[in-house]
């Protein structure tokens, strides 16, 4: 226990040093104001508790040779994680400048929360972490994600009582119903009750202990109460690891968890300026705020730091002494150096079956229909079969609804609760994770990817906004990681957004929102990729591409309802490789300068654009129309803004610089302007898209409500191409009448006119 | 009990009719295919359970003369809520065409999920609802929000077991710790376990009952188990209402809740095509999917509908018979007509104190600093004092951090758990709601506003993305409500986003994200308003304006760190009224055509723009510079796009059509292009803003990392104004050097240079 205490004191000392000191790291001379940082930043309150956990977990790792990583939910306790990595030597291995000596300790202190230094929170820069604790709520979901398919791993997950109030965390406790005790590792939640958040007490610290125990039992855990005491913690951990072993062996039904109560800011100043600090919310950030200016505070700081007896912990050379290091594990057993926390080191490429085998046969473009996601389901089935331990498919109870059901030919949905005879496709080892929580799907997948595995998240398009904030944080993690040389690339996080805005006519307005793309494109171009494959074959090829990629967030928008097949597989691959291209068979410009460009992105807008092109071909055959389809949305940006961006010359060749462009877009129209405003032809760019009109109605009525329908597109062309004459004026009127006819039919019959439902490219054969 | 059963059967009959029938509503003749809708849409699975709850709650209302509303968490059970309103007569009161007779019943059936009709989910169109159940997770938070400050109200909240898996719902159970039994009403959660979501069993239906009871006890409730049985439900409700009364009286510590287990699709077809349906996930949507085409299914539908014995429930005229109506309450006691569910009917304007009294005295512009949110805190304090029962301030543990602490001079934070002697400002009746869950803050506030009260949500800017999806749904609710004549306008939902991207230098990259504005502007112009007041006085005036508004979502972005005071109160009001304006004292164009326009929106960008203007004035005095500040962001859009939009002529006058515009923006630059791309001067518009660069550093370094700093703005001007000559080239080099100097100072000293920190407009007096 002395060794644990020595390690703990050393970590606490190093934590305080990081918050306060520019110099004099070993306190070899009395503290003076110039040793103190001018801006005091950091969070002390949670830090001693984190250090306490690290110290005790290390003892268990050594005694059991346990493969273990930690997730520090209170990631604002950055000093703790950094101190831990430095004591374990892994910090110096990653950052040789920050050596394990006096000079290294000085650098360690100075760099913390300092310009040009390291962040105040646990971050990608921190060895041993897969979890940034800035935005709270995701610690436990990340922990479970890391544990999946790592049968020998224990993920110790420290959950702050502030974070425990968030929705995502409250739901995450139930992740135990999705854990497979044979194929997965385990999670040891440590609910750390220090009683306060920023300025308030926490709920779980202030409900009766009996109620808290019931809550944890209700969540399906065996709770163990621990106070601020080494013996209690060690005993509880020994019990918990016995229970984890029993759980793994099938001898115990429930995972253990620990409820650790310690004072906030434990071992810090008890009272400052007459107000209690230790054990109150006042310990949250910097307990002594004016050390440089206030001699009394300076003396308190020195007294506080000396209370850890640094002279017993570090040699005169600054190296931690043997007693401190006695509990530190070796090599990859160190939590700060465990390769699971730098998942790219463990990452193996997916075994990807040849997606071309799943290709839909296309004899003529736009002559037959397929359900793109159903076709993709066959590919995902084969991906799962070929990668039985390294790929998972996440979905909030929507995998079947999104028509990916072919995956169930080879796997089940993970489930470790009661099953009934009527259940289908539930079972241990299932590769499909279905829970009605987008937060859990996202959190599990992030944890799974960051520990070196692969996956895909399928979701209704509108409800992916539920994880906007999580996407932001994951993108930021990747943006930072890309700049850190020792962080190896991990598999991309790929979203498949289906049941999209244009085909939620039956569910109504609440289900109609294509705005996730707008959130995504705000993040760095080095990270984000957006694809809108217009048919089944392009979807297959895009999915294959995304599953091979690293360190990106890929967003694929693709429908589950039948859409026209446009490309043979070879054509689809070529179209995707360019990312954008002319559909010559739908165009009438014959390789000359067109009178108008009809551009489109997204399956339904493409269908309507094609139908408009056919109408124009029939009724205004002399008009030179060019149809351009965009698969890779980032092609629209200039190359200076995104690596996929097209050079202006290419853009100008495709879109012209002076002809009207009618762009029919899947999402909000402003996004196209945002991406293309720098282009020469932008003044002639007219974008149709979702303009927040919707209700429960029919698919074509949804198009008409938002003016993306074929008839309105023809009207747009006539309005924008000068000099078309009376024939065009006539056609315009007819289009307007067609809209009224379709609207009336819908109102009378409750479904779209048959000629619209079964439309195919003239001359082709209808598949419906 | 017979009356309850009759009501229940009637509601079930009407629900099935809505899903299936175009005609023959009373089954006066055998069902034929042409009586059936061509597209069968809707969700049957949850509907009979909802009807069961309504029927039983009505009995309680009548017996106790109870003021009660319901929240239907499984809002996809739209037919239930509509059937309920029709039986109660309130549907016909709102929609006289849908009369309580055969013809009305025919319309009721036909309109459901039909083009031009009503949505398939509970929606604003549904009388008696404040909750759209499309996106799941918010039912219980809405329920508590409705109960706050309604001491006599009971909010019955039906929670589906699918929804119960979401994070926001899992956190919402703890709302009971924020309820004041004397001043608030109560919530009766009814956890409806029908066992399945779309395609999967639910977690809470498949854990041992003992565990479920512990979970509910752990959440602080007294659970009552009820099966699919009238007697059990009636008995449990009687007990629960006794317990609610005891709770209100202080004689019981815990709120009751009910766990209701019924088969999914209860009373529907037991088996279809050889597969079990009732009691399985197959009952989720339309249990008989091909009734029009399949004579067997048609017969089953008729058998199913006749099983409710409609001839006993409705007279030949289609009116519900007396037995059915025996349990229906009268007038405003009807849950479908309770005025709390049309909050605008109850809404009283806030008593708003004169914000001018809080004005910061400004003798010269940009000569002194204030902390805008601290000043606002004084106003909010006075608002709270003047409206002790109709205004609440929500914040995820950030009210003090956002420097609104003056509110605690007159109120506390709501808290109904243990308190300790060191606690401050906790107590019953508190107007400030602090919980570390943005979801709860948002959900409570929505429930509070929709029932006719007022409030404000203060939040760290980056983390408001956590509720992107909730914002979307609330905005959609308002967009729809604005078109429904009987829905009276409610108070706007106003966000105060502070601790914003430019002043989270200390917390680092995870805390830096201004993208919520991009999410907001995608919603309809009739609903969204965005304000970026640049100083304390403009913030006061904006806040007053927002708190008076109705049916909007207002977003105010304002910092908590000191910024320069720019406007006297009178000037601030005038500036806000215009929404955009020239700062003549900072400009050198003297009313003539400028050489360059420096535009700015947001407090920090405005500060940097002013500093740049001062540098230009000093070093290039002959350059005619115009400084334009934008408070009301939607001014930038054309009037065709937003009611606040400026006419082109005004825009052109302010910004010119041919001079360079350097626009320094608070958020992502693309948003300004998105709003202004139609303007004549757009080709000359160059926007600076957040470009996703950040870490833990200093405030000015954050500006430099993103090129919004004064020095870079001067460089931008020099790069874009033609013909400035060698003096300008010299200045450009100097600006570049100044950036290096500032960077080096920061790296050496850990803080920004003193001349930057204390900068004021030349000639003014520094306040720091």
User: In this complex, is the C-beta atom of B276 within 8 Å of any C-beta atom belonging to chain A?
Assistant: yes
Tokens 């000392």 belong to A13
A679 Cβ neighbours under 8 A, 6+ residues apart: A636, A638, A648, A651, A652, A655, A685
Q: Which pLDDT value is given to residue A764?
A: 59
Token digits of residue A102: 């006096």
Number of H helices, E strands in chain B: 26, 20
Residue A563 forms beta bridges with which residues?
A370
A204, A510, A626, A749, B283 from B110: Cα distances, Å: 50, 21, 43, 10, 22
Low-confidence ranges of chain A (pLDDT < 70): 764-768
The residue of B40, B113, B160, B200 whose CB has the most chain A CBs within 10 angstroms, and thus the best one to mutate to test that interface, is B200
ipTM of the complex: 0.97
Whether B533 contacts B554, CB under 8 Å? no
Phi, psi of A94 (to 5 degrees): -80, -35
What is the topology classification, in CATH, of domain A2-337?
Rossmann fold (3.40.50)
| pTM given for the model | 0.97
Q: Dihedrals φ, ψ of B201, to 5°? A: -70, 165
Report yes or no: A437 and B165 within 8 Å, Cβ to Cβ: yes
What is the residue whose two structure tokens read 């972490």? A129
Write down how long chain B is.
768
Beta strands in B656-743 (DSSP E): 661-665, 685-688
Residue A529 tokens, joined: 């990729």
CA distance A416 to A429: 10
The position carrying tokens 């009552």 is: B224
**Six-digit token string for A101:** 């000596």
What's phi and psi for A189, nearest 5 deg?
-75, 135
**B679 DSSP assignment:** S
Please tell me the distance from the alpha carbon of residue A236 to that of residue A251, in angstroms, as a whole number: 19
Mutate to test the interface with A, among B136, B164, B166, B420 (most CBs of A within 10 A): B166
- Enumerate residues 6+ apart whose C-beta is below 8 A from A261: A193, A194, A195, A205, A225, A226, A227, A228
Q: What token pair was written down for A103?
A: 């000079």
Distance CA A483, CA A524 (A): 13
Q: Which of residues 578-597 of A touch B (CB under 8 A)?
A: none
What is the enclosing helix (H) or strand (E) of B443? helix B438-450
Closest residue in A to B219 (Cα–Cα): A215
CATH fold of B579-757 reads Rossmann fold (3.40.50)
Q: How large is the greatest C-alpha to C-alpha distance in chain A, in angstroms?
A: 96
Averaged over successive runs of 10 residues, the pLDDT of chain B (768 residues) comes to 96 98 97 95 96 98 98 94 98 98 98 93 96 94 98 98 97 98 97 94 97 98 98 98 97 96 96 94 92 96 98 97 96 98 97 97 96 97 98 95 96 94 91 97 98 98 98 98 97 97 92 97 96 98 98 97 96 98 95 95 98 98 97 97 96 97 98 94 96 94 98 98 94 98 95 95 61
Query: Coil, strand, or helix at residue B497?
Result: strand
Positive or negative CA dihedral for A282, A286, A288, A294?
negative
Residues of chain A with CATH 3.40.50.920: 579-757
Nearest Cα neighbor of B106 from B179, B46, B25 is B25
From CA A45, how far away is CA B616, in angstroms rounded?
A: 46
Cα B144 to chain centroid, rounded: 15
Chain A from 432 to 491: CB within 8 A of any B CB: 434-437, 439-440, 462-463, 465-466, 468-469, 472-473, 476, 479-480
Asked if A525 reaches chain B (Cβ–Cβ under 8 Å), the answer is no
A670 touching chain B per CB within 8 A: yes
Strand, coil or helix: B246: helix
Give A-chain residues touching B697 at CB under 8 angstroms.
Answer: 115-116
Torsion, CA A732, CA A733, CA A738, CA A741, rounded to 10: 160
The predicted pLDDT at position A133 comes to 85
Q: Is A274 on the interface with B (CB under 8 A)?
A: no
Strand partners, B495: B457, B555
The DSSP symbol for A159 reads: E
- Check: CB of residue A429 under 8 Å from CB of residue A413: no
B residues 103-132 closer than 8 Å to A (CB): 113-121, 123, 132
**To the nearest 10°, the Cα dihedral for B45, B47, B48, B52?**
140
Residue among A509, A687, A749, A751 with most chain B CBs within 10 A, to mutate: A509
Three-class HEC string of A56-76: HHHHHHHHHCCEEEEEECCCC
Burial class (CB in 10 A: 0-12, 13-18, 19+), A748: exposed
Question: Which residues in B lie closer than 8 A to residue A276 (C-beta atoms)?
Answer: 422
Q: Which CATH class is domain A359-563?
A: alpha beta
Burial pattern B398-426, b for ≥16 Cβ within 10 A else e, equals bbbbbbbbbbbeebbbbbbbeeeeebebb
DSSP letter, residue A402: T
Integer Cα distance of B179 and B153 in angstroms: 13
Residue of A651, A694, A691, A693 lying closest to A670 (CA atoms)? A691
CA distance B543 to B359: 13
Closest by Cα among B94, B617, B25, B710 to B314: B25
Q: How far apart are CA B426 and CA A574, in angstroms?
A: 65
Residue pair A625/A588 in contact by the 8 Å Cβ criterion: yes
Residue located via tokens 């954050």: B702
Tell me the C-alpha distance between A57 and A156, whole Å.
8
Q: How far apart are the first and last CA of chain B?
A: 75
User: Where on the phi/psi map is residue B583: left (φ > 0), alpha (ψ -120 to 50), or beta?
Assistant: beta
Are A169 and B167 in contact (CB < 8 Å)?
yes
Instruction: Give contacts of B200 with chain A, Cβ < 8 Å.
Output: 397, 413, 426, 434
Residues 6+ apart with CB under 8 A from B389: B149, B183
- Asked if residue A362 lies in contact with residue A93, where contact means CB atoms within 8 angstroms, the answer is no
Tokens 């965009």 identify what position?
A630
CA distance, residue A66 to nearest chain B CA (Å):
31
Q: How many CA atoms lie within 13 A of B683 on its CB side?
A: 8
Encoding tokens for residue A504? 């939620």
Residue intervals in chain B for CATH 3.40.50.970: 2-337, 359-563
Spatial separation of the C-alpha atoms in residues A450 and B152, rounded to whole Å: 51
Residue (of B399, B349, B355) closest to B375 by Cα position: B355
Cα angle value B247/B250/B255 (rounded, 5°):
20
A686 and chain B: CB distance < 8 Å anywhere? no
Q: Distance from CA of residue B41 to its chain's centroid?
A: 28
Residues 6+ apart with CB under 8 A from A607: A534, A563, A564, A759
Test B119 with A508 for CB contact under 8 angstroms.
Answer: yes
Question: Chain A partners of B220 at a C-beta cutoff of 8 Å?
Answer: 207, 211
CB–CB of B279 and A746 under 8 A?
Answer: no
Q: E strands, A46-174, where?
A: 67-72, 153-160
How far apart CA B588 and CA B595 sit, in angstroms, is: 10
Smallest CA–CA distance from B110 into chain A, residue: A750
Contact criterion met (CB < 8 Å) for B166 and A436: yes
* Burial letters B299-320, b for 16+ CB under 10 A, else e: ebbbebbeebebeebbeeebbb
Q: Can you list the alpha helix ranges (DSSP code H) found in A656-724?
A: 670-676, 699-705, 710-720
Structure confidence at residue B764 (pLDDT): 60
Task: Using alpha carbons, list the distances in angstroms from residue A385 to A390, A396, A398.
Answer: 10, 22, 20
- Expressed in angstroms, the distance from the first to the final Cα of chain A is 74
Q: What residue spans of A437-583 are helical by DSSP H?
A: 438-450, 468-481, 516-521, 536-548, 569-578
**Chain B residue at shortest CA distance from A702:** B115
| B23 close to A (CB below 8 A) | no
* Best mutation target, B115, B141, B499, to test chain A (most A CBs within 10 A): B115
Distance in angstroms (rounded) separating the CA atoms of residues B96 and A16: 71
Closest to B259 (Cα-Cα) out of B297, B293, B214: B214
**Element at B393 (helix H, strand E):** strand B391-395
């Amino acid at each position: 226990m002395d060794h644990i205490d020595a390690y703990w004191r050393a970590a606490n000392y190093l934590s305080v040093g990081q918050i306060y000191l520019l110099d004099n790291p070993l306190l070899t001379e009395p503290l003076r104001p110039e040793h103190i940082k001018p801006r005091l930043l950091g969070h002390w309150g949670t830090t001693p508790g984190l250090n306490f956990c690290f110290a005790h977990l290390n003892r268990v790792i050594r005694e059991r040779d346990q493969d273990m990583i930690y997730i520090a939910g209170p990631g604002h306790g950055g000093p703790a994680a950094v101190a831990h990595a430095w004591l374990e030597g892994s910090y110096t291995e990653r950052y040789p400048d920050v050596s394990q000596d006096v000079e290294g300790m000085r650098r360690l202190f100075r760099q913390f929360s300092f310009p040009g230094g390291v962040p105040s929170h646990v971050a990608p820069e921190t060895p041993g972490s897969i979890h940034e604790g800035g935005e709270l709520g995701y610690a436990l979901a990340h922990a479970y994600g890391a544990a999946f398919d790592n049968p020998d791993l224990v993920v110790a997950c420290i959950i702050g009582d502030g974070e425990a109030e968030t929705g995502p965390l409250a739901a995450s406790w139930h992740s135990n119903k999705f854990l497979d005790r044979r194929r997965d590792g385990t999670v040891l939640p440590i609910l750390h009750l220090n009683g306060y958040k920023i300025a308030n007490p926490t709920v779980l610290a202030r409900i009766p202990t009996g109620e808290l125990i019931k809550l944890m039992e209700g969540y399906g855990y065996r709770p163990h109460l621990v106070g601020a005491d080494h013996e209690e913690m060690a005993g509880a951990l020994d019990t918990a690891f016995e229970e984890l072993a029993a759980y793994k062996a099938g001898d115990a039904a429930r995972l253990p968890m620990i409820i650790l109560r310690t004072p906030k800011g434990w071992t810090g100043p008890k009272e400052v300026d007459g107000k209690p600090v230790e054990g109150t919310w006042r310990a949250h950030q910097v307990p002594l705020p004016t050390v440089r200016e206030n001699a009394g505070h300076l003396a308190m700081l020195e007294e506080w730091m000396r209370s850890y007896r640094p002279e017993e912990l570090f040699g005169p050379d600054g190296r931690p002494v043997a007693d401190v290091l006695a509990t530190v594990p070796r090599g990859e057993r160190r939590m700060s150096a465990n390769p699971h926390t730098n998942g790219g080191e463990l990452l193996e490429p997916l075994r990807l079956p040849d997606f071309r085998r799943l290709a839909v046969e296309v004899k003529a473009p736009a002559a037959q229909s397929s359900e793109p996601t159903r076709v993709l389901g066959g590919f995902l089935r084969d991906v799962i079969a070929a990668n039985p331990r390294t790929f998972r498919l996440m979905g909030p109870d929507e995998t079947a609804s999104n028509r990916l059901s072919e995956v169930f030919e080879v796997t089940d949905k993970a489930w470790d609760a009661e099953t009934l005879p009527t259940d289908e496709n539930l079972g241990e080892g299932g590769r499909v994770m279905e829970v009605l929580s987008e937060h859990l799907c996202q959190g599990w997948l992030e944890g799974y990817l960051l520990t070196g595995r692969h996956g895909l998240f399928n979701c209704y398009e509108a409800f992916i906004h539920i994880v906007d904030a999580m996407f932001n944080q994951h993108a930021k993690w990747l943006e930072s990681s890309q700049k850190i040389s020792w962080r190896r690339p991990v598999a991309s996080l790929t979203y498949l957004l289906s049941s999209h805005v244009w085909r939620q006519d039956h569910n109504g307005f609440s289900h109609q929102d294509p705005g996730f793309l707008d959130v995504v494109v705000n993040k760095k171009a080095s990270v984000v990729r957006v694809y809108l494959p217009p048919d089944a074959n392009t979807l297959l090829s895009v999915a294959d591409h995304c599953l091979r990629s690293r360190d990106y967030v890929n967003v694929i928008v693709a429908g589950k309802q039948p859409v026209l097949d446009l490309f043979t597989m070879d054509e689809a691959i070529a179209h995707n490789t360019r990312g954008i291209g002319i559909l010559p068979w739908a165009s009438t410009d014959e390789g000359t300068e067109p009178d108008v460009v009809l551009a489109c992105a997204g399956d339904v807008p493409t269908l309507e654009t094609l139908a408009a092109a056919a109408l124009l071909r029939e009724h205004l055959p002399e008009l030179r129309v060019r149809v351009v389809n965009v698969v890779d949305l980032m092609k629209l940006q200039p190359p200076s803004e995104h690596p996929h961006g097209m050079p202006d010359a290419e853009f100008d060749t495709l879109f012209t610089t002076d002809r009207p462009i009618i762009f029919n877009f899947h999402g909000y129209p402003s996004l196209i302007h945002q991406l293309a405003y720098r282009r020469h032809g932008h003044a002639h760019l007219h974008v149709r898209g979702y303009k927040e009109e919707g209700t429960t109605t029919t698919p074509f009525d949804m198009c008409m409500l938002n003016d993306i329908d074929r008839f309105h597109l023809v009207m747009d062309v006539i309005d924008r191409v000068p000099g078309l004459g009376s024939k065009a004026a006539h056609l315009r009127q007819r289009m307007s009448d067609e809209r009224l006819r379709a609207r009336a039919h819908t109102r009378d019959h409750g479904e779209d006119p048959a000629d619209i439902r079964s439309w195919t490219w003239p001359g082709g054969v209808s598949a419906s």
